[in-house]
Amino acid sequence: MERIAVIGAGAWGTALAIQAARAGGEVRLWARDAGRAAAMQAVRENAGHLPGHRLPEGITVTADAAAALEGAGLALLVVPAQHMAAVLAHLPALPPALVAAKGVLRDGLRLPLETLALLRPGLPAGVLSGPNFAGEVAAGLPAAAVVASTDAALREAATARLATAHFRLYEQDDPVGAQVGGAAKNVIAIAAGAVMGAGLGENARAALVTRGLTEIARLADALGGRAETVSGLSGLGDLLLTCTGPGSRNFSLGVALGRGEALEHILAGRNSVTEGVATAPALLARARAAGVDMPITAAVADVLAGKVDVAGAMEALLARPRRTE
Ligand SMILES: NC(=O)C1=CN([C@@H]2O[C@H](COP(=O)(O)OP(=O)(O)OC[C@H]3O[C@@H](n4cnc5c(N)ncnc54)[C@H](O)[C@@H]3O)[C@@H](O)[C@H]2O)C=CC1
Ligand SMILES: O=C(CO)COP(=O)(O)O
């Protein structure tokens, strides 16, 4: 049987490798650092990014991208969005691929699949997205996600190779809507965390999440996706998880900002990626280029840029002209 290559050995790449092996696949997991790859291969654990989860025998960890991709029938691209283009530039030929990173690339303001299409034209591709904390998926707890692609054969093949009884995958043909939802929820989660950290209350959070969903739907529609996709797992589902789950890095970064901590200080204490930080300004610029108003995204971008504090950003949002819902 053809192998599955997982490119990127952070928490999510490692969890997806475990999931793919659990589904019966033979998996090669690529880590960019040779020392880390060797340690993971020997100790059978990703101590740095996903401690406490044993790598099944079906996974081989390597820092050799050619070896990771050799004989693979499916690749999962799981490096953080801002590093995706640089990593892709150094990879050999890819099999059909699903992107599992969530963000908008600062360089070119592109969604991940737009970058993939630019660098690997014609490659069958899609996204894997949904409300999925890596640790819970690695532990085999129940979860659901979408495989979104316009390529029906890829959707079917990928779903068949990754789904298990506890990891329920839905096929879906709106990758634009799925990517917009996955990227933007990180930004809205920072906003949700910030209002909680600043003590502005549950009402404020619920309002932000709901209005956040509306602005995400506007952008999905403007970029050629479907607004209703945003009500599904890759939109509302992931918003719910990241705007309420204390395990979300975007939410917890927002909480710290709301408590008055400086962004540089928060980031200096982390060895994991918080996608919303780079995505907020890129998402905002992409929305503006498309003529779409995203006031909560703009507020988050302003807070991250140090132009306004959380209380001030909230006051500005509340002072916007009243309108119909
Ligand atoms: N952790 C989670 O629960 C989930 C994460 N995701 C998404 O998956 C993507 C990857 O996130 P995680 O696996 O959580 O990452 P992580 O925070 O666990 O680890 C960071 C990863 O980035 C890599 N990295 C750092 N600098 C790099 C560079 N210059 N070039 C290439 N790679 C570099 C590191 O090697 C490491 O693999 C993100 O887009 C994230 O939004 C999606 C669903 C769930
Ligand atoms: O994408 C995720 C859950 O679906 C992970 O969220 P955080 O990056 O905020 O931890």
Among the atoms of ligand 1, which is closest to the Cα of residue 271?
A: 17
Ligand 1 pocket test, candidate residues 12, 78, 248, most atoms within 8 A of CB: 12
Instruction: Supply the DSSP string of 86-135, one letter for each residue.
Output: HHHHT-----SEEE-----BTGGGB-HHHHHHHHSTT--EEEEESS--HH
Name the pairing type of β-strands 27-30 and 3-7.
parallel
Ligand 2 interacting residues, C-beta cut-off 6 A: 102, 131-133, 186, 189, 238, 241-242, 248-250, 275
Name the pairing type of β-strands 167-172 and 3-7.
unpaired
Residue with tokens 């950290």: 197
Going from the Cα of 250 to the center of ligand 2, the distance in angstroms, rounded, reads 7
Q: Tell me which architecture the domain covering 176-318 has in CATH.
A: Orthogonal Bundle (1.10)
Among the atoms of ligand 2, which is closest to the Cα of residue 130?
A: 4
pTM of the predicted model, to two decimals? Answer: 0.98
Beta bridge partners of 4: 27, 74
Alpha-carbon distance 99 to 111, whole Å?
A: 10
Q: Look up residue 281 and give its amino acid.
A: P
Ligand 2 pocket test, candidate residues 275, 277, 279, most atoms within 8 A of CB: 275
Task: Count CA within 13 A, CB hemisphere, residue 322.
Answer: 0
End-to-end CA distance of the chain: 52
* The predicted structure's pLDDT at residue 2: 83
Number of Cβ atoms within 10 Å of the Cβ of 74: 23
Residue with tokens 């999931």: 19
Going from the Cα of 12 to the center of ligand 1, the distance in angstroms, rounded, reads 7
Which residue CA neighbors atom 15 of ligand 1 most closely? 10
Domain ranges of the chain: 3-173, 176-318
12 annotated binding-site participant: yes
From first to last of the 325 residues of the chain, give the pLDDT tens digit.
589 999 999 999 999 999 999 999 999 999 999 999 999 999 999 999 999 999 999 999 999 999 999 999 999 999 999 999 999 999 999 999 999 999 999 999 999 999 999 999 999 999 999 999 999 999 999 999 999 999 999 999 999 999 999 999 999 999 999 999 999 999 999 999 999 999 999 999 999 999 999 999 999 999 999 989 999 999 999 999 999 999 999 999 999 999 999 999 999 999 999 999 999 999 999 999 999 999 999 999 999 999 999 999 999 999 999 999 8
Among the atoms of ligand 2, which is closest to the Cα of residue 133?
A: 3
Alpha-carbon distance 55 to 96, whole Å?
A: 24
Whether ipTM > 0.90 holds is yes
Ligand 1 interacting residues, C-beta cut-off 6 A: 8-13, 32, 49, 78-81, 83, 87, 100-103, 132-134, 272-273, 275
* The predicted structure's pLDDT at residue 1: 59
248 annotated binding-site participant: yes
Residues near 166 by Cβ (< 8 Å), separated by ≥ 6?
Answer: 140, 141, 142, 143
Pick the ligand that lies closest to the CA of residue 128: 1
Pick the CATH number of 3-173 from 3.40.50.720, 3.30.70.980, 3.40.50.1110, 3.40.50.2000: 3.40.50.720
* Crossing angle for the helix pair 249-258 and 275-289, to the nearest 10 degrees: 90
Instruction: Supply the DSSP string of 228-289, one letter for each residue.
Output: GGGGSIIIIIHHHHHHH-TT-HHHHHHHHHHTT--HHHHHHT-SS--HHHHHHHHHHHHHHH
The SS3 assignment for 145 reads strand
Contact (Cβ atoms closer than 8 angstroms) between residue 107 and residue 100: no
Alpha-carbon distance 86 to 178, whole Å?
A: 23
Going from the Cα of 169 to the center of ligand 1, the distance in angstroms, rounded, reads 21
The one-character DSSP state at 59 is E
The catalytic residues are 185
